């Protein structure tokens, strides 16, 4: 079964737009856990535009020993104000997994992965620091990436395939090429001994086909679409719908 990790960034965006404590991000996490998700994901950024360091700390305490806690972020972004830096935050919270993403401050959302040749030397000491904390490390990569031996040499255990282009291709009614690129990337990474995660704009309408095409899919991180769908159907019901899709034996022979 593929694990569903619910990204709660959009809950924090809604809260921050008004100020105060509502909607309560910990209550949202509790609802997701009770509805069957296997993990909670957050992606704090230095500009504090959505999930904040105190949210990460509170969620870490809430989910510990119950479901997986995954923190995403740019390892090259240093401390700034209340943001202590990704490595320092991981050192405090000790998440199960840290997903390294090369997103800059000017990006609305993550839109590309690491270059597994160019970025390896810069990543090495940061990955080593996370491994010392007993965190599983995952690297965000584009469909079409190769040279996964470089990632393995760092001690990385998983990759997360950036699925934005696949989701857009589904909207346009032409998913075949984008899905094939994801499948080829997953096969290469799996052959190198890496686990396969995926995320970005996966939804109830495009997830089943993606899962069926990648039999070794370990985990999906879904936030924006899931929270949007929950506005219509409710958070608990939406999480259960995703869990049902991921629990179905729809892998290709």
Residues forming the active site: 43, 72, 200
Q: Is 92 exposed, middle or buried (0-12, 13-18, 19+ CB in 10 A)?
A: middle
Q: Which residues in 46-202 belong to E strands, given as ranges? A: 68-73, 97-100, 136-142, 158-162, 195-199
Residue among 3, 42, 7, 11 at smallest CA distance from 231 = 11
CA distance linking residue 157 with residue 154, whole number of Å:
9
User: What sign for the dihedral angle of Cα 198, 195, 94, 36?
Assistant: positive
Decide: helix, strand or coil at residue 82: coil
CA distance linking residue 176 with residue 150, whole number of Å:
28
Contact 197, 221 (CB under 8 A): yes
Q: Is 82 exposed, middle or buried (0-12, 13-18, 19+ CB in 10 A)?
A: exposed
CA distance linking residue 199 with residue 225, whole number of Å:
11
Contacts of 153 by beta carbon, 8 Å cutoff, 6+ apart: 120
Q: Residue 39 pairs with which residues in a beta bridge? A: 5, 68
């Amino acid at each position: 079964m593929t694990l569903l990790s619910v990204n709660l960034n959009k809950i924090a965006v809604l809260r921050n737009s008004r100020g105060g404590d509502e909607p309560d991000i910990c209550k949202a996490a509790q609802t997701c856990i009770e509805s069957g998700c296997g993990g909670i994901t957050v992606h704090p950024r230095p500009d504090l535009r959505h999930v904040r360091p105190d949210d990460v700390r509170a969620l870490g305490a809430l989910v510990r020993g119950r479901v997986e806690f995954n923190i995403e972020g740019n390892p090259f972004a240093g401390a700034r104000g209340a943001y202590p830096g990704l490595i320092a935050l991981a050192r405090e919270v000790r998440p199960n997994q840290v997903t390294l993403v090369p997103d800059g401050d000017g990006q609305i959302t993550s839109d590309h992965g690491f270059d597994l040749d160019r970025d390896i030397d810069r990543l090495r000491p940061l990955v080593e620091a996370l491994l010392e904390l007993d965190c599983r490390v995952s690297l965000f990569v584009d469909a079409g990436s190769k040279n996964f031996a470089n990632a393995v040499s760092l001690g990385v255990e998983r990759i997360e395939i950036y699925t934005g282009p696949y989701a857009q291709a589904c909207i346009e009614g032409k998913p075949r090429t984008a899905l094939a690129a994801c499948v080829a990337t997953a096969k290469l990474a799996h052959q190198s001994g890496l686990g396969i995660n995926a995320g970005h704009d996966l939804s109830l309408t495009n997830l089943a086909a993606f899962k069926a095409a990648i039999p070794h899919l370990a985990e999906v991180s879904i936030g924006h679409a899931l929270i949007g769908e929950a506005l219509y159907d409710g958070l608990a019901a939406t999480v259960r719908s995703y869990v049902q899709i991921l629990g179905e034996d729809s892998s290709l022979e």
